[in-house]
Amino acid sequence: MRLRRQFRMPLLAVLVTAGIVATDCLVPKVERVAPNALSVSPSRINVFETTRSTPENQAAAPAENATKSFAPATELSADTVVQIRELAEADPAAVADAALREPVSALRERMLLEALPLWADRDPASVGEWLGARQPAREFDLGLSALARHPAFVAKMPDAALGLASEIVDPSLRIGAQRSVVQDWIQRDPARIRAVIQQSRDLSAGDRAMLSSELDGLLASR
């Protein structure tokens, strides 16, 4: 990640420097879900197995073959989405880890979509270390966005938050995160943010121009 190379230290160290600490110092501690809990009881669908089936296979598969693996699904049922969300609420780190063991599919995408923002909100240091060990990819965008927008991170290291937002692959999500950092930062140090926008190597020419224009508009309206 460009942010890690720029600061010459792991993202976790950046977050610790910013005063962002682990889950038990931010929210009430959530008990980790035991590995076998990810295979739900027969009364519920095993979301990490049965959702690999295609709609045709789901319709034809008998109940006793509910754990059989099929081709990746193009869509997930509403019940499956709810169950993934419940598992992510209980232990987003476990769901994120499990997602990377899945092939690229709607299931993997949904697992990361549900888990990463929750994890970033509850334990930014841990999810920062997890994301920092991986190359930027669209499937990690929501986690990066949630981390870049984290209030404590933006308040204490806005330049690092802006660099992290620049790692987001999806253009609209990236710009939204960058703008959020700028809007928060301008309340404290507008002169500093202009210098960072102009000098940062993390920003593309297009993003730099957009943020400079955003900054000018915000300053003019004050």
Rounded to whole angstroms, the Cα distance separating 120 from 117 reads 5
Query: Among the residues of the chain, which ranges form H helices?
Result: 2-7, 11-17, 55-60, 78-90, 92-99, 106-122, 124-132, 141-148, 151-156, 158-165, 171-185, 190-199, 205-220
Residue type present at position 188: R
Instruction: Name the DSSP class of 32.
Output: P
Instruction: Tell me the Ramachandran region of residue 50: left when phi exceeds 0, alpha when psi lies from -120 to 50, beta otherwise.
Output: alpha
**pLDDT of the residue at 81:** 93
pLDDT, one tens digit per residue, over 42-92 is 333 344 544 444 344 343 333 333 222 323 445 889 999 999 999 999 999
For residue 17, the model assigns a pLDDT of 53
Among the ranges given (45-54, 195-204, 207-216), the one the predictor scored with the smallest mean pLDDT:
45-54
Q: What pLDDT is stored for residue 11 in this prediction?
A: 53
- Is the pLDDT assigned to residue 188 strictly greater than 90? no
Query: What average pLDDT score do residues 134-160 get?
Result: 89
> Model pTM greater than 0.75?
no
pLDDT at 200: 87
Q: Say what the pLDDT of residue 18 is.
A: 52
pLDDT of residue 46: 47
- Quickly state the pLDDT bin for 140 (edges 50, 70, 90): very high
| pLDDT tens digits, one per residue of 23-36 | 333 333 334 444 44
pLDDT for 7 equals: 34
Higher pLDDT, 138 or 132: 138
pLDDT tens sequence across 109-127:
999 999 999 999 999 889 9
Arithmetic mean of pLDDT, 145-167: 89
pLDDT of residue 48: 52
Say what the pLDDT of residue 14 is: 52
- Three-state DSSP at 7 gives helix
